[in-house]
Structure 1
């Protein structure tokens, strides 16, 4: 599995959030993202032009994509329950995705 930066993971989380945690994907394809996580994450091409990130997502296995999807949904849910003033999104991303990150403590 490739290593991701916090910025790249933020883009993945944003994609999950924009897609309504899978609602748009399900509406358009009739599939659930938990059953087709790689296909769901690959739809990020609709929101970004970062070719390196797109290639990293394409290189994920189905299990890795599911893992990333579940962690992203977790962060989206936290964002919806916490006050925006209280939330330190980068700190949460670093903690939740510590096994994916190449920029530990890059919060400054």
Structure 2
């Protein structure tokens, strides 16, 4: 699957839906798109990784950097991860202790979670 990032608004949330692999080759484009959304003043960001086949340490670094930026501005950043392999990686790297992980975009954008 080819790498891509689509951005949509859902209530107070900006949702980035990522497809393909996030690795050393695609991480710069992912970072640029994510920081572009954050620089528009987005306070709440959901990153939907349910269509991501693979993510390496470069991609994980992009997620961590984005989390720092969003939180330093008083916002929130959440992940959506459906694939068991990706969920295992998120758990193994303890990213789930830094970022809230949800099973769906609807659950991640639920306003009662704010």
What TM-score do the two structures reach when normalised by structure 2?
0.30
TM-score (norm 1): 0.31
Between Structure 1 and Structure 2, the one with more strand by share is 2
* Structure 1 or 2: more helix by fraction: 1
Q: Which has the higher contact order (CA 8 A, sep 6+)?
A: 1
